[in-house]
Amino acid sequence: MCGIIGILGNHQAAPLMVEALKRLEYRGYDSAGIATVSDGVLDRRRAVGKLVNLADLLVTDPLTGFAGIGHTRWATHGAPTVANAHPHRAGRVAVVHNGIIENFRALRAELNGQWESETDTETVVRLCEHFLDDGMSPKDAAFATIDRLEGAYALCFLFDGEDDLLICARAGSPLAIGHGEGEMFVGSDAIALGPLTDTLTYLEEGDRAVVTRAGAQIFDAEGRQTHREARRIRMEATRIEKAGHKHFMAKEIHEQPQTLSDVIAAYTDGDRIVPPSTYDWAATDRVQMIACGTAQIACSVAKYWFEALARLPVEVDIASEYRYREGPIGAQTTALFVSQSGETADTLAALRYAKGKARAIAAVVNVAESSIARDADVVFPIHAGVEVGVASTKAFVNQLAVLLALAIEAGVARGTIDGPREAELVAQLRALPGLVSSALGIEERCEALAHRLAEASDILFLGRGPMYPMAHEGALKLKEISYIHAEAYASGELKHGPIALVDRSLPVVVFAPLDPLFDKTVSNMQEVMAREGQVLLVTDSDGAAQASDGVWDVLVMPKVDPVFAPILYAIPAQLLAYHTAVHKGTDVDQPRNLAKSVTVE
C-alpha cells in the first residue's frame, strides 16, 4: 500500500526520493509528496496522481537539501487531494505515515484548532508540534506523540532546523533502516532502498528509532535501547524491470516456469518432499488456513489437497473475519497463514489472535523478513521473487506449489501416502514447470478471445472440486484488472440461483479438466448452453474431444494428473484477464483503487 522513503545523505535528496518512490509504485497510490530540510529550513511539495506530476512540479518549483522524507499515498481517510497528500506538516515538523491511527478523532477533539486535511495523519503532526511548543526536543516530542497513538503505523518525522535527524517508528506496518557510508535511509521495504544500500535493519513491532548520519539508536516498545541485527540483502531481490514486456504482469506470467522450478527444487530432494523448514504434521489433528484475496483462494485449493492426500481436516478463513468470529482453536490445530507480502494487515492481526492458542503458527510467505514470517513458528518460503503487478500471478502459483508439497509431506507423515506414491507425486511435481511452459502457448488464443470478453458487462466462471476455487481465481483476476463484473460458482450450484443470469449475452468460462468430476461439469455446462449462454470451455484434448459440441470456444490445456490441475489452470485464468484488460485499455499493473501490499485493515 503506501510507500515511505527517508534520506539523510550526502547528495541532493529530492531526485533520490523520487526514484525510490517510483520503485514503490507497484504498491498502489493516488498521490505523492516529499519534504526536505535545506540550510535548516523545512519545505515540501505534493501532487495528486502519478509520480510524474510530482516530478513535473519539482522542475518548476524545486526542493533542495540533503535530508528528506517522501511518500506515495493510497487514500484511506479523505479523497486523493493535495491537502490530504503526505508529507503532512504542522509548524516545525513534517510526517509521512503508512497505516491508520484509530484514535485520531479523540486526539483531534483534544487538540482543537483548524484542520487542513481529512486525514488521520495530520493529527500526528499537530500532536508533535504541540509537544514541541511545550519545550520538548524533537526526539522527545516524537516519542511522546508515538506513545499517544493507537492503531497501525509506520512513521517517519522530519524537523525544521534539523538536517541530520529522522525519527521513525513502526507498529503493525513494516519499516526498515538502511545503512550507508556516512548516510542513512528509511524505507517501507527493501525495494525502495535497493539502489541506495544493501544493508538493512528491520524494525520490530513497537520499535522506534533516532536516525542520524552516524547511525541509528533503536528503542523497543518499552522504551529500552535495544539492538536489531543489520542484514545484507541480495541486490537481485530488489531489481524491478519489465525485461522487454509491455507490463510487469506479462513478465511475471512468463516467469512462472522458472519460479515454479525454483520452488519445487527447494521443496524436493530426489523422489521425496523435503521442505526447507521441518514440521510434525502427524501431531496435528486439524489445519486452519487463513489469508486474504488470491492467497485465500490458494488456501481453498489446498483444502482439497490436504483432505484428499493427508486425510487432514482443513478450515479456510478470510483473515478479516477470522478473529472477530472468535472460533475455537484446538490445542492440536495448526494455524497456517498465507500472504505474498507477509505484511497483509488482516492476516497479521489474525495470526496474533491465534498465537498461543494453536499448536503452532505456520506461514507461507514470499518475503523472509516480513512481519508474518518473524511472528510465525515455522516459515515456508515460496521463492517467487519480486512481484510488481497488483494482480498476483507467479506468487499465487508458487503458493499453490508450496501448499501441495506440504500436503504431500503431511500425507507421508500421517501414513496416507507411501513411498512409491510420494515418488510418483514428486515426479509429476517436477514435470509441472514444463507443462506450465506448454500452457503459455494458449496466449494467442486468449488474446483473440479477449476481444469478445471485453465487450461483456458480466462474466460467469464455473468449476467443480479444486476447479471451483480456480473459478474464483479467474473471476477475481478479471475484476481486478479489467473492471468487468465477474462471479464464480461451483458448477453444481448453478441451478440454485445463478442460472437466472444466463442468456446469450453472458460469457461463461468453465474450467473442466478430464477428471472424475468432468461428466458432472459437462452436464452443468449443457444447462448453460440450453439457455443460450456462451460457454468458453477450458479443458484438455480428451475433454475437448468429448464435450466441445455447441460451445462458443475451447481452450485446450496440456494433460495433467487432476491433483496438479489447479496449478496449470492458473495460466488461462491469468491470460484471459490480462488480455481482456489490455484490450480495454485499463492500467494492468496498477488497477484503480487497488494496492499490492494491503497494510491497513
Which residues are known catalytic residues? 2, 596
Mention every residue, 6+ apart, whose C-beta is less than 8 A from residue 493.
none
Mention every residue, 6+ apart, whose C-beta is less than 8 A from residue 306.
287, 312, 314, 406, 407, 410
Q: What is the DSSP letter of 238?
A: G
- For residues 456 and 478, give the distance between their C-alpha atoms in angstroms, rounded to a whole number: 11
Question: Which of 102, 145, 574 has its CA nearest to residue 345?
Answer: 102
Question: Which of 247, 311, 308, 260 has its CA nearest to residue 284?
Answer: 311
Sign of CA dihedral 243, 245, 249, 251: negative
Q: Write the DSSP assignment of 429-497 as a string of letters.
A: HHHHHHHHHHHGGGHHHHHHHHHHHTT-SEEEEEE-TTHHHHHHHHHHHHHHHH--EEEEEEGGGGGGT
Q: What is the DSSP letter of 274?
A: -
Q: Which residues of 94-112 are buried (b: 16+ CB within 10 A; e: fewer)?
A: bbbbbbbbeebeebbeeee
Q: Are 409 and 312 in contact (CB under 8 A)?
A: no
Mention every residue, 6+ apart, whose C-beta is less than 8 A from residue 20.
5, 7, 70, 187, 192, 193, 195, 196
